[in-house]
Structure 1
Amino acid sequence: MAELGTDLFTAYAVGKGIGALKDLGIGKSAFNALGSLRNPAITPGFGESTLIDYSGGLASRRFSTFKNVIKGSAGEAATKYLWTIDNRGINVALEQTQAATSRGFITHTNISSTAYAGGEVWFTDEKSVFINAKSARFGGASMTTEQWAAAKSSWEAIGYKVEAADFKPPTSPPAN
Structure 2
Amino acid sequence: MVARKQIVKGAIGHLVLFFINFCVLVGIIESMNLFQQDLPFLNVLLLIYMVVHTFILLSIQLGIQVLELVRIRMPSFLIAYYFQFSDEELIPLRILDPTKSKLAVVVLLLVITGGPILYPVFAVYGFLFAYAHVLTIALDPGTILFYFGVFLNWMPPVIGVIVAMVIVSIVIIEFKHV
User: Shorter-chain TM-score category?
Assistant: under 0.3
Larger Rg: 2
TM-score (norm 2): 0.28
- TM-score, normalised with respect to structure 1: 0.28
